[in-house]
Structure 1
Amino acid sequence: MSGIADALGRALGAVARAADRRLDALGLAPPPLDLPPEVRDDLRAFFAGTVDPTAVTIRRGHVPGVPHTRAFALPGLIFLGADPGVVGIGGLAGSVRPRATPTLVHELVHIWQGRFLGPRYVVRALGEQIRLGRRAYDWRAALDRRAALGITPAGAPGGDAPTARRAALPVEAHAQLVSDAYAARYGPPRQPAPSGRDEHLRAVEDVLTGLRAGDACTLRGRTV
């Protein structure tokens, strides 16, 4: 099944990129987002070089003629929908520093998933959105469900105590966890922590460690 999902995700990405090139040639594609150098550097540091944002076509807006204004990512291509992608964050002495939005980070995590999990992430993300709607993004609930089942860090039932640590997350919950962590650490000063629960914060650290190492161990559906 993973091979079929990879093939389908790869095909969807190829078709989307071809359509984007055609729309761009006709002058109908949304404008590309030119990331400021500070934002590129921040993103490279946050992902520890596992994602190169300059290797991805990022467009401000949505696909022409498609009544879908939400952001989405296919292999090599991101449409930001209504999200600006970059915002200015006030600093000392009235300075303004550009930062990537959490939405852009979320979509870049999908690009990361495509690299380290495979193009199947596209099929999995679509399936999760269809089945769960907005609940697909609730990584805290996903961790709690795994903990309630007694999933151990090794990924097998049993163990001395239920734990959410190193539980494998669905692709949308995984991307949302990372974007929430980015917002909490790099966003405005009043941005709250991703969670007040220790087990959730440990899971956040595990996911970020795996992200920066190019290790999909905390992502459901990985190849073993």
Structure 2
Amino acid sequence: MRSSTVLLSTTVASAVLYVAAAAALGTPPGATAVGDEVAGWFAGHATEVRIYVWCLTLLAPLAGTTVGLVRQRLPAPYRDVFLVGGITFVAETAVMAWLWGALSSHEATTTPATARALLDVASFWGPVLTGSTVTMLAPIVVAGWRGALGVPRWLTALGVVALVEQVVETITVFGRTGFAAPGGPMNLYLGAVLTLAWFTGLGVVLARRPAGEPDAPAPQEVVARS
């Protein structure tokens, strides 16, 4: 099977699984929910949480393959920075899924204080993950801006919007309540939708052309050498 076909397939499948995971989970307890509310929610949604974790488990190899095939189509040094971001994204998501799975394991006996504490740890996946997404976005945006990738302008523009949003979203580290709380709407809706749209667009666009030589110089470099 051609790598372009694999890239297109894994990109689309990754997007579908991410949306399916979010749909299965529904609306979890917010940052202001007390321990009793958190424990009660997990007691009533254990199956949905496990479906969520299962979707994320299936997502890992698909997203990892997409990252690897996208890297193959990038010039140096952008590809290596992108790869670092992609690896940490998958790894951090796996750790977050462990915590959600653990909370669904003994939902009937987990104490309210324990449930609240573990959910707080899992919720900080959102704020911390912005470091990984910025590491993925930045090299692509810079390469696209410099004309080193030959991608459509709309994709570069979307990347700029997503990158700016992710940089601003780092403030959720300090959030307590509301829109900017860890694991709140800024993490789970605004940032997730923008980043997912960009990641999916990137995979689809690059899948429509054959993989080039990874060490091929950018157009500006060719002009400079001639």
TM range (shorter): under 0.3
Q: Name the structure where strand makes up a greater proportion of residues.
A: 1
Of structures 1 and 2, the one scoring higher in RCO (CA 8 A, sep 6+) is 2
Which has the higher Rg, Structure 1 or Structure 2? 2
TM-score, reference length from structure 1: 0.26
